[in-house]
Each structure stands twice: as C-alpha cells, then as structure tokens.
Chains A and B, each alone.
Chain A
Amino acid sequence: METVQDLVHVLADKHGRTRESLLPILQDIVEERRYLSKEVMVDVARELDISAADVFGVATFYTFLDTVERGKYVIRVCKTISCSMKGKGDVLATIEEMLKIKPGETTPDKKFSLLETNCIGWCHKAPAILINDTPYTELTPEKVTEILREYIKK
C-alpha cells in the first residue's frame, strides 16, 4: 500500500500545487482513505507550501471532508424536513439496530460509519440516504435492510 506522502504527492501532481488545488486534493484523499488525519493535512500543507492551519481550516469547514476516522462505507441519512416527515426516523432506527451504532459512530471493524446530514435533494422520493456517493431513495425499514445486507456481504 502506498504511503500517505506518496498519495499526497500523486494527487498534487494530478491537481496542481496552487491554492485552488487544495479542495480537489482533500476530496480525493477522503475518497481514498475516508478521512483526513492530522498527518495527511500537514503533508498537504507541505506539498502546497501553505500553512497547516489553512489546510485544517478548510478541511473542518466542509461537512464531507471528515477529519475523524470513518468506515469504508459512510452512510448519511437525510434529516431535513421532507425526509423527516416521511419516515426517516424508522429508517435510521433500522440502520442503528442492524449495525449497532448511533449517528457519529463507526462499527468496530471500520466498515460502516453512520451520520445524519442536511437535505441531499431527493425530497420527492423521501426518505433518502447516501452511502458514500450513491443515493438510495423512497426507503422503508425493509428496503434499507435489504440494501445494507448487500453492503455487509461486500
């Protein structure tokens, strides 16, 4: 497995080393490693020749740039009003029960993290969740159980 420094270097080659490249680099690291560790943020700062505080400031501003360790699959349950009206509570409870974790937590095997998120743009097909980048809509406890079973097998 490539080291963190290698990854940062490769990504800087791909996106460039200007300030404008910071967000795409951080996004790609999160995609690859699921979160931004302190070490990786320092590496990025060194690579782009900017202050580590700037990198940390940007990373902590954006909800999807996680700065605590997350699982391989990050489940984001929409909690905004339409989803909340259409049974988001039952869907969330089903996920909690299946994975034995609460929002904000990660399973011990580091496979799943469970989070709540603001409107993801599927209000007409509520309730909706994102698993990494993939949206799942019009969920019921049965449907979400089925989906999670597939992910557990992966």
Chain B
Amino acid sequence: MKNTHVKRVDLIFERTECKEVFAKVITMKPDDICQEILESGLKGRGGAGFPTGLKWRFTALEESDEKYVICNADEGEPGTFKDRQILDEVPEKVFCGMAIASRAIGARTGIVYLRGEYKFLLPKLNKALDEFHKLMKEFKHDFEVRIRLGSGAYICGEESALFESIEGKRGEPRNKPPYPTTSGLFSKPTLINNVETLDYCVMIMKYGAQHFQELGTKDSRGSKVFSVSGDTPRAGIYELELGMTVAQFVAEFGDGDTKAVQVGGASGFCVPRKRFDETIIGFEGVPTGGSMKLFNSSRSMYNVLHNYLEFFTEESCGQCTPCRVGCQQLLKGVEAVKKGEKTSKYLDELLKLSRTMKIASKCGLGQSVGNAFSSIVENFKEEIIY
C-alpha cells in the first residue's frame, strides 16, 4: 500500500461506556451541552452539513410542551452504508447521543426512523433499546425512544418527508421555512440528526470539543465515516480525518486506474481525474454524506449517469413539477442523444434544465439532481454522446 496522508481515526466504532458519558452530561446545564457540541465544529454527517450545535441550540430555545429528538436512519443515498454498520455495531452509542440531545433541548420522546431495507437489524436494536431504557431509569431521565420503519422510499430521508411519514402520510417534503427546529414532527420543535452525527456527539462529550476540533480543517472539523465502493480493492467502511484531497483518497483506495470518483452518491458530484489534486473532500470542496464510488477506465460514464437518472426518476416523490418532469426529461434526453436522435447541442438544453431544477424544486432531491448531471456531462461529454 502506498504511503499517503489519509489518516485513519477510531471514534465512531470505539467501544464506549455510555453510562459514564451520560453521568457527566446529566450534571451539565443544557446550554453548556449545546455549547460543547458547537465548539467542536461538528457539522451534520448526513450530507447537508448544518452545524450540529446550532441546531441543538435553536431547538433548545423553542418554548413548547412537547419536543422530539429524531435519529435519521433512512440511509438511502446510493453508495452509503455506514449508518447500517454503526447501528449494527454500536447501537447503544446512537441511543446515548439521542439522550444527550434530549437533555440539551428538553425532550421526552425520541424516534429512530429506520429504512425498511434495514429491518433485519430490528431484533438487535430492540435489545439495545431495552438496555438503554434501563439506563435512563437509573438516571431518572424521562426519555423514551421508539423505532419506526420506512418502506422503501428514498425521499423519506429528507427531514420533512420523514416527519410526514411518521405522521402516517405520503412522504412528501414540506415547504421550508418553517424549519424543523421550530415546527417539525406534529408541528412541534424537532431535532433531527443523522446516525453518525449522534454517535460523534457522544464522543465529543466523552473527550471534549477540543479533541474533535483538532482533527480536520477549518471548514470541516473532525473525522467522517466513508462508505467506499466501486472499482476498488478495498471496498468497505473507513473513518478518516477530513481535509484530504481526492488524489490522496484515490492513492489509498483506487485500483491504479481510477478515472472518476463520485463523491456524495447520486445526489453528489463526479470528480474527474484531472481535478483529483485540487479537490478537497469536505465542506470547502465536495461535501459528502460518506458515499465514495470509484470508477476505472473500463466503466462507461453514460451508464453511470443513466443509472443515477433512472434512480431519481423512480424516487422523485412527484409532488413538484420541476423535479417530477425534470428527472424524466433528463433521462429521456440523454437516451436520445446517445441514440443520435438529438444532436450533442441538446445536452446544453438539458444542462439548462438541470439548473432550473436546482432553483425551482421544492426539496433537496430535485435541487441536487443537477450536481451529478452537470458534473458527469461536463467532464465526460464524449462518453455521453458516442
């Protein structure tokens, strides 16, 4: 293996005595907990990257008879599978993270929204949950967590669609604002965090904000769990310090013939070989929820794009026209160009359409289709046309 600057970290899967961490947390003032998370620089690990401590504080500041802590375990982004592994190996830490959050914001109810594809994890999670509730009783902390299952809809990973789903409705995203911190589940202030984010919160309370803050860069503090797949001899789950370039990543995980890396899944960005050196993986460069897919020169980027567009066409909730019709037209459009029914100039029209979708779509799904579309079309035009 080549010697690179990719630094492995072991926080997420590190065995942790949750009882000790919570014993410390329970003595702290709620706002001091928010402050600690804020100082760590932790940003949401689901992909969007909102500062976690701010989210906690906003929810804490709301006056309400009921507030909710929700763990988003609807991991559906193609190429992402780290949350499954976290829930499988250290579920107690995820629940503990929710308990810390409940203390910080003043909530009595927690819900884990688990994607239907991970239903096989339920027996293990329920067992861990029993232990967790015993622990809460020991501390006389009034907080109960239940698990809700999804049923195969990618869009329910979008926070407001997730609320709709828990409320027993079609998983159609809501307009924002209001944001979940003021009006989320059942219109109550709701704190929703990704599985990995909640695990990091436990580690921040365990080791202190400083420990986390020392890792990574100014814009991307700490480490991150990456889901690595595609053309790589080392497919799997790796926790790495943030701030590396795609080149460093490829040196460690590539097969020697990597021509492109799709960072952030179908809704992320395609980084071609010529940009490996200059592109930083993180919020200052290409953000990611952890999905890293490598493609070598044997792969047709047309097939990759076509696969993503089929995915979005099926998973668009259909509620807003830019996304519903836009996805279909992008898919039909690249097929027509490939078959020669449309000239290559038509790709420019499609790029315009993808930019319109970014502006006019209601939620993150429609807004991000253009990321993959434009980054693949612009960098691999000849593969799309011929």
The A-contacting residues of B in range 212-232, CB under 8 angstroms, are 227-231
- Cα A125 to Cα B170 with chains together (Å): 31
- Quick one: given A27-B149, A81-B307, are A19 and B75 in contact (CB under 8 Å)? no
Task: Check: A134 CB closer than 8 A to any chain B CB.
Answer: yes
A139 sits at the interface (CB 8 A): no
Question: Looking at the complex, which one of A22, A61, A122, A133 makes contact with B171 (CB distance below 8 Å)?
Answer: A61
In the complex, the answer to whether B229 meets A20 with C-beta atoms within 8 Å is no
Q: How distant is A73 from chain B, measured CB to nearest CB, in Å?
A: 15
Surface stretch bound by B, among A1-9, A91-99, A113-121, A141-149: A113-121
A104 at interface by CB-CB < 8 Å: no
Knowing A81-B304, A120-B117, A121-B118 touch, does A57 contact B170 (C-beta < 8 A)? yes
Task: Give how many B residues have a beta carbon under 8 Å from the other chain's beta carbons.
Answer: 48
Contacts of A123 in B (CB 8 A): 78-81, 227, 229-230, 235, 293
A115, chain B: closest CB distance, angstroms: 10
> Which has the most chain B C-beta neighbours within 10 Å: A19, A21, A65, A123?
A123
Q: Is the CB of A124 within 8 A of B170?
A: no
Judge whether A124 and B118 touch: CB under 8 Å: no
> Which A residues are in CB contact (< 8 Å) with B152?
62-65, 117
Residue pairs across A and B with CB atoms within 8 Å: the count is: 115
A124-B148 Cα distance, complex, nearest whole Å: 26
Measured in the bound complex, the distance between the Cα atoms of B115 and A62 in whole Å is: 11
Q: Mark A4-44, 1 if CB is under 8 A from B, else 0.
A: 00000000000000111111101100000000000000000
B214 to chain A, nearest CB (A): 29
In this complex, what residue of A is CB-closest to B299? A85
User: A107: CB under 8 A from chain B?
Assistant: no
- The yes or no answer to A101 lying at the interface (CB within 8 A) is no
Bound CA–CA A65/B317 (angstroms): 15
Chain B residues near A135 (CB-CB < 8 A): 117, 120
The residue of chain A having its C-beta at the shortest distance from the C-beta of B166 within the complex is: A20
Do residues A133 and B230 form an inter-chain contact, with CB atoms below 8 A? no
- Report the minimal beta-carbon distance from B82 to chain A, rounded to whole angstroms: 9
| Residues of chain A at interface, number, CB under 8 A | 36
Query: A18 to B235, alpha carbons, bound, how many Å?
Result: 44
Residues on the A chain within 8 Å of B308, using CB: 81
- Per-position binary interface string of chain B over residues 76-88, scored 1 when its CB falls under 8 Å from any chain A CB and 0 otherwise: 1111110010000
22 A/B residue pairs, CB under 8 Å, sorted by A? A18-B168, A20-B168, A21-B168, A24-B149, A58-B169, A61-B317, A62-B151, A63-B151, A64-B151, A65-B151, A81-B230, A81-B266, A81-B307, A82-B78, A118-B154, A118-B311, A120-B117, A121-B118, A123-B230, A124-B236, A130-B117, A133-B120
Binding site for A on B (CB under 8 A): 75-81, 84, 115-120, 148-154, 165-172, 227-231, 235-237, 266, 293, 299, 303-304, 307-308, 311, 314-315, 317
Residues of A within 8 A of B (CB): 18-24, 26-27, 57-58, 61-65, 79-82, 84-85, 117-126, 130, 133-135
Top 3 A-B pairs, shortest CB-CB distance: A63-B152, A62-B151, A64-B152
